[in-house]
Amino acid sequence: MIHWPVAITGLGCICAAGGTVPDCLDSLYAGRRAPVPPTRFSTSHPTAFPVFEVRDFREPPELLRTSALGVQAAAEALADADLSPEELRGLRVGVCVGTTVGSALNDEGFCRAHRAGEEPDLFPMERILNSNPAAAIARAFGCTGPCQTVVNACASGTDAVGLAASWIRGGICDVAIAGGADELGRITYHGFISLMITDDSPCKPFDRDRKGLNLGEGAGMLVLESEQVRARRGARARSFVMGYGSACDAHHLTAPHPDGAGLRQAVAEALACCAVAAERVAFVNAHGTGTPDNDRVESRVLAELFPGVPYHSTKGHTGHTLGAAGGIEAVFTVACLERGVVPASAGFENVDPELAGEPLRGNREVAGDFALSQSLAFGGSNSVLLFGKGDAE
């Protein structure tokens, strides 16, 4: 069954690379990045692992930072789509958001106090229960359509965009706010350190000397719109969601399949469902976390499925923002396709002779009509989105 394209009419993003989409793009094209040891929380770990924090952002006390970041990116995306609150009220708007920490009953202070025999204030738990990311965005903008918080680990944001596109095609809603959001905290920080896949220096995706990932935080949101509503509003499509594929490795809880079986399947599905040939893909925004395993598997699959197609990882600019990554990278992929320039893969210097190829060394102009963004997650989930060029400006 061929899926018809779904228009993207608005983009929003907040992460370490910038507080808005234009700010982020400036950083990406200028190759700026500045990971530093965490400033928002303390650690007694002897090694200071750098992270990509969002500066100058303060969440309201009653909302989880994750959800506040999501609301902020959604507000930018809705403004970019020129959808006012009045306009939204007359439409059935769905919200589909990926996260890893945004809906987990996970609060260290609460647990510590409980373990110490105290009766801790329930506020941190109530805040989590009132901060479900999709529900929080729906509340902020009065969205009446379905709400879905996708918790597919590091592929969550990518899946959320693919699912929301399917909702629009299925007539389940007129407009969808879709993407991902995640905050950085002590729990994920120490969890990833314990897995021994974090780099104690700025991350170097696809580089010979890569040692692991740096964590990041932020949110990336897209506004998807039905053709009916778009025609009535005369809204310009910045891009289209063309295809989406996802597949399980069914291999291991934390390690990717060595041959990238699930990733291949997800790519094949994303291309097949819109009948776009692999040769027509202008560039790929790779998952490119900078861990030895991920980059090995991914570069191998890219070299085989997309020989000669330029690819980059933007995690050298944002860190790995986990559930937000798919949303943020979808925003970047769309914006770079629109501009026709792909930024260099930050952190890459030395070719790894064990990898099948290398990412972009410098910013590159591209002329094609399609671009791919891919995510590989814990649990062997692989998800891929194919974007197409939008209407002329």
Partner 1 sequence: MDTKEKLKQILVKDLNLEEVTPEEISDSAPLFGEGLGLDSLDAVELVVIVQKHFGVEIKDMEEGRKAFQSVDSLAAYIEERKGA
Partner 2 sequence: MRLSVRGIGIVGAFGTGVESFEKALVEGQVTVGSIEVATGEGVQAVPAYRADTAGLEEFVPKRSLRRVDHYSKLALLGSFLALKDAGMLDSGLSRVGLVIASGYGATATTYAFLDSLISGGDTCASPTHFANSVHNAAAANVAITLGIRGPSLTVSQFDMSVPSALVSARQWLAEGRVDTVLFGAIDEVSELVAYLQHRRRGPRHAPAMAPLDAGAESSIIGEGASFLLLTRDEGAPAYCGIDSVETGNLFGTQLSLPSDALLLLGADGRSELGRRYQDAVPEGAQAACYTPIYGSMPAAAGFDLAAAALALKAGRAFASPAGPGPFVPAPAAVSRICSLRLAGPSEYATIVMSKL
Q: Binding of partner 1 at residue 250 (CB under 8 A)?
A: no
Minimal distance, residue 377 CB to partner 2, in Å: 7
Buried/exposed 293-318: b ≥16 CB within 10 Å, e otherwise: ebbbbbbbbbbebbeebbbbbbbbbb
Q: Active site includes 320? A: yes
Contacts of residue 136, Cβ cutoff 8 Å, sequence gap at least 6 = 63, 64, 67, 68, 70, 71, 130
| Helix (H), strand (E) at residue 6 | strand 6-15
* Strand duo 218-225 + 175-182: pairing: antiparallel
Judged by CB under 8 A, the chain residues 48 through 67 that form the site for partner 1 are: none
Q: Residue 374 corresponds to which tokens in the numbers above?
A: 């891919």
- Could you give phi then psi for residue 150, rounded to 5 degrees? -90, 125
Minimal distance, residue 78 CB to partner 2, in Å: 16
Q: Binding of partner 1 at residue 191 (CB under 8 A)?
A: no
Q: Compute the Cα dihedral for 311, 317, 320, 326 and give only its sign.
A: negative
The correct pick among 27, 66, 67, 100 for binding partner 2 (CB under 8 A) is: 100
Q: Which of 154, 173, 203, 336 is catalytic?
A: 154
What is the contact mask toward partner 2 in residues 311 to 350, using x (rule: CB under 8 A)? ----------------------------------------
For partner 2, give the closer residue by CB, 343 or 380.
Answer: 380
Judged by CB under 8 A, the chain residues 268 through 287 that form the site for partner 2 are: 269, 273
Q: Binding of partner 1 at residue 116 (CB under 8 A)?
A: no
* Distance of alpha carbon 376 from alpha carbon 255, whole angstroms: 10
Q: What is the DSSP letter of 61?
A: T
Q: Which of 3, 257, 317, 320 is catalytic?
A: 320
Structural contact between residues 77 and 223, judged by C-beta atoms closer than 8 angstroms: yes
Q: Binding of partner 2 at residue 144 (CB under 8 A)?
A: yes
Quick one: residue 38, left, alpha or beta (phi over 0 = left, psi -120 to 50 = alpha)? beta
Q: Which stretch binds partner 2 (CB under 8 A): 30-38, 146-154, 290-298, 306-314?
A: 146-154
Tell how far CA 24 is from the center of its chain: 14
Q: Binding of partner 1 at residue 144 (CB under 8 A)?
A: no
For partner 2, give the closer residue by CB, 113 or 351.
Answer: 113
Q: Binding of partner 1 at residue 228 (CB under 8 A)?
A: no
The correct pick among 10, 14, 73, 92 for binding partner 2 (CB under 8 A) is: 92
Judged by CB under 8 A, the chain residues 168 through 207 that form the site for partner 2 are: 169-170, 172, 186-187, 190-196
| Sequential DSSP letters for 315-333 | HHHH-B-GGGHHHHHHHHH
Minimal distance, residue 197 CB to partner 1, in Å: 9
- When CB distances are held under 5 to 8 angstroms depending on the partner's kind, the choice from partner 1, partner 2, none that residue 255 binds is partner 1
Q: Residue 267 corresponds to which tokens in the numbers above?
A: 């790519």
* Distance of alpha carbon 199 from alpha carbon 207, whole angstroms: 12
Q: Active site includes 287? A: yes
Q: Binding of partner 1 at residue 254 (CB under 8 A)?
A: yes
- Residues near partner 1 (CB under 8 A) are 194-196, 252-255
Residues forming the active site:
154, 287, 320
